[in-house]
Structure 1
Amino acid sequence: MKVEVISKEIIKPSSPTPDHLLHYQFSFLDQIAPQVYNPLLLFYEHNAKTQPNSTEISHNLKNSLCEVLNLFYPLAGRIKNNQFIHCNDEGIPFVEARVLDCTLSDVLSNPIPGELNKFMPFELDDITNSLPLGVQLNIFQCGGFAIGQCVSHKIADGSSYFMFSKIWAAIARGDQANINPPEFVSSTLFPPKEFNIGFDGSVGITKDRVTKRFVFDASQIENLRERYEQSMHNIKKRPTRVETLSTFLWSRFVAATKDSTLNKLYRVVHAVNLRPRFDPPLPQSFFGNLFRLAITAPLQIPSSGGSDEECGHGVVIPVVREAIDNIDNEYIKKLQKQGDEHLGVMKKRADSFKRGEMATSLYFSSYCRFPLYDNDFGWGRPTWVGSPALTYKNVVLFMDTKEGGGIEAYVSLEEEVMAKFECDSELLSYVAPGAPMLRK
């Protein structure tokens, strides 16, 4: 796929940031967030009835960006030394590009995450980049277009990111009346720390990785739920879609790696939104990194493990639930008071990871039930929302399909592991054929 950049410009807020807001202090959780970008790709089919030409689309997007950056003023500044953002209204890059040798339907019929990186304004794992935000408008010859956005994880988690995109879209379509503006208070909840011990936010980034996308229909997820529910005793509530699919993919990951894992120890890790876990819950309008990782105790896998049952889904779901339940208001209070202790634990884990002593972990992050398809900039909802290749190995990202309760799973593994994983017969028996975003 050939994507040719035709213009680059810097978009600045339409109004200057007040002097008292020029210094946006990172919270402790911002400081320890990964030094990568959260990407989002929004694809729109050409609609001759409602859609203006590409010049007008670009003009509208840039004008509305100027307005939304007034609300999200730190995004127009520059990151300084993992400590703060200088909110100097320096602006964000807006790139325009033409897609030369394929149509929108070509991309949507077979989305390849590694190729989708060409729709992004810069490298997602560039840990030296001080820009909090970048946007790229990709125009197809058929009239369709894709908006590539990436926000630095140093300033925003998934919830914050989708809040920005949704409000930007609302301003673009002239729906300012229903906007709930962001609140920048995370540094008061988790005050920043002086790091007197080294912290490397790039641990886990590796070039030897590949991301593949697997789609699961609602009916296949339901089949797995019923299968797990029947085999699990004394379970208080049936597995959720995300619990079901993460357990299934974890079992296939174990099957693909068990021969190369010496100690047969595994961990399951889930990203958890902290906002609803405060007492009382925080508003979703709170911007920043307000998430933590729920990490299970090491799980011992029998040397003969391979089938889903042998990998112990009856154990995994309760253990994952317990780890997530442990991230409660008491956990948050402790995290607020003992940030230095938490940082020390993180550093020990990172050092163990580098030495190869850690249990093999698979990380899950879910965008399910987020308003992915609410990004209507005035020309209708996206045809499809997707992701380019992920920046870390051993990571799974879940996103809802547009219709029908299915889930798209982006799986990032080392190339050697992926070669086994993607050929797993049990995995393939549940993967949906075709591209559901094109089904009528």
Structure 2
Amino acid sequence: MVMIGKLLRFGRRQLHTIISRDIIKPANPTPSHLQTYNLSELDLLIGKLYLPMLLLYPNKDSCSLTAQDKTRVLKNSLSQSLTKYYPFAGRLPTLKTPYVDCNDKGVVFLEARSEAKLEEFQLGMAQDENLDNLFADNMVCNNSPHSTNLVGIQLNHFVGGGVGLAVSLSHLVGDGCTLGSFVNHWASVARYGSADHKEVLPLNPHFIHVPRTDSSEAPVMNQQNAGLSTPVTRKFFFPNSKLNDLKKLVTSATNDIPTRVEVLTSLLYKTTVAAATTNSGCFKPSYLMIPANIRRRLPELPRTAVGNFVSRMMVPTTHARETSLSMLVREIKKQKWQLEGVKSMQQATENYKLLMSKLGNDQDLKTLIKRSYTCSSLCGYPFNKVDFGWGKPMATAIALRSAGQNSFVLIDAANGDGIEAHVTLEIQDMEIFQNDKELLSFCQIN
């Protein structure tokens, strides 16, 4: 273990101190016949960025483990978990190589100490400009374009107890479902003490072994400096009672029963486009982009399949009238219905290519990003149930400010009563968005 004395400014007052750095390797070596893990064509199309998940755990009186005990448990269980998630402990031979060298070099594990109290941090979490400091080696979205590491872990200790566990996963090797399966598998190993325990077995990862791509190099989408100039993030809470009211409102206009996610996605998009229109002085055609998990549509594909099994739905709005809640919900449902025809990875890949080609023919990347709004739903994913042996998290978040893109990330509330929306927009648009009367009638601002 290497002791570090690096101080990072955290928020406006607190200091964040990196106190240790370690490399966690798999408990057992990866067999020689698994030394190379080929990335699928869809993995390569999605590109090199990181999925940064933060889990906050309070210090409970019922838990007898000290901070040192928790660190030891996390490291030991991570080592065992990496035996089964063996590519995560490997490296990309080069930044453009379309496969992972499963060489067991390990996962970086940092510890940090914050001068903030956990409760204070949670209240301002979505608005903190330095949230990225909680993640190992700057593995947040597009921040580490030159890193060949695939996973980074940072355990953050808060004053008075409580920890924030930050997990970064390269999108090249997995999507949100992969990240959820990985952290829950790791947590179950921590709880039961062994990867071979009967309660852990159902979470075993399933790797799809694909042939090497024809290309000797993976395509790289350089989005650096192409995003929002001044992005800010705010968290909005929508209780189930208000979401039910919103569903009734849409149902009365469409005679169709929408889901919570469909109506909330539509409301967020409608409000952001209205805010952007107010700032620019005129309506500009925009896109609503929705990543979709297609695992259940692919025959015999386990839920714990590792990799990117996603497609994208795109809802274009060329006129202001197309941003009404009823029209947006109807179009989202239409896009979902069209995805039902995807029955293979090849189809998913071709659909993704087709969508990207449509966008590529539009305008330059910077303009396109400012006119596109991506809504990623993690509702129904098990992030709020990740229990390492000291209880479930009090809060979860994905740090996407660094992506520099208009985005909404939807996560189930920790208590199950509603949805938290983490919204990232240009600061000028956010000023109007967060004061929208219709939006405020359905939510609480955190």
Q: Does 1:112 align with 2:133?
A: no
Question: In structure 2, do the counterparts of structure 1 residues 105 and 333 end up closer, same or farther at CA, with 3 Å as the change threshold?
Answer: closer
Alignment partner for residue 47 of structure 1, among 40, 60, 63? 60
Per the TM alignment, residue 161 of structure 1 is displaced from its structure 2 partner at its CA by 0.5
| Equivalences for residues 315-326 of structure 1 within 5 A | 315-326=327-338
How far residue 92 of structure 1 moved from its aligned partner, in angstroms, is 1.0
Could you tell me which residue of structure 2 aligns to residue 293 of structure 1?
Answer: 312
In structure 2, what is the Cα distance between the partners aligned to 1:154 and 1:54? Answer: 33
204, 215, 232: which one pairs with 1:181?
204
Deviations 1:212-266 (A, max 9, x none): 2111111111111111111224x2xx11000010011111012111243866323
1:311 is the counterpart of 2:323: yes
How far 1:312 sits from its partner (Å)?
1.7
Cα shift at 1:343? 3.6
* Cα distance in 2 between the residues matched to 1:21 and 1:40: 28
In 2, the alpha carbon distance for the partners of 1:353 and 1:261 equals 20
- Pairwise CA distance, 1:75: 0.5
- Alignment of 1:267 onto 2:287: yes
Paired position in structure 2 for 1:58:
71
Letter in structure 1 aligned against 2:235? R
- Give SS of 1:78's match: coil
Partner Cα distance (2:346, 2:72) in 1 = 48
Instruction: Show the counterpart of 2:359.
Output: 349
Residues 1:352 and 1:171: Cα distance change in structure 2 (over 3 Å): same
Tell me whether 318-327 or 161-170 shows the greater mean CA deviation: 318-327
Matched, 1:153 2:153: no
- From the two aligned structures, give the one with the greater strand fraction: 2
Task: State the match for 2:263 in structure 1.
Answer: 244
Matches within 5 A, 1:14-25: 14-25=27-38
- 2:190 — aligned with what? 172
Given candidates 8, 13, 37, the residue that maps to 2:26 is 13
> Is 2:132 aligned against 1:98?
no
Percent identity between the aligned chains? 28
Amino acid at match of 2:304: S
Calculate the TM-score normalised by the size of structure 1.
Answer: 0.88
Distance across 2 between alignment mates of 1:35 and 1:147: 22
The residue type paired with residue 99 of structure 1 is: S
How far apart are 1:361 and its partner, in Å? 2.5
Shift of 1:273: 0.7
| CA shift in 2, pair 1:357/1:141, >3 Å | closer
SS in 1 for 2:305: coil
Check conservation: 2:37, 2:209, Cα contact below 8 A. Answer: no
Which position in structure 2 is the counterpart of 1:372?
Answer: 383
Aligned residues: 418
Pair 1:32 & 2:50 matched: no
**For the structure 1 residues 205 and 88, does the alpha-carbon distance in structure 2 shift closer, same or farther, using more than 3 Å as the test?**
farther
Tell me what 1:194 maps to: 215
**How many angstroms apart in 1 are the aligned matches of 2:75 and 2:368?**
49
Q: Unpaired segments of 5 or more residues in structure 1?
A: 435-440
2:85 aligned residue: 72
Distance change >3 Å, CA 357–CA 154, structure 1 → 2? closer
1:168-207 CA-partner distances (Å, limit 9, x unpaired): 000011163122311110636xx73528996525376455
Query: How far apart are 1:39 and its partner, in Å?
Result: 1.2
Query: Aligned partners of 2:399 and 2:179: how far apart in 1?
Result: 16
Aligned-residue CA RMSD (Å):
2.5
One-letter amino acid matched to 2:169: V
| 1:416 counterpart letter in structure 2 | Q
Q: Is the 8 A contact 2:153 2:168 kept in 1?
A: yes
Which runs of 5 or more residues in structure 2 are unaligned?
Answer: 1-13
| TM superposition shift of 1:122 | 2.7
1:215 aligns with 2:237: yes
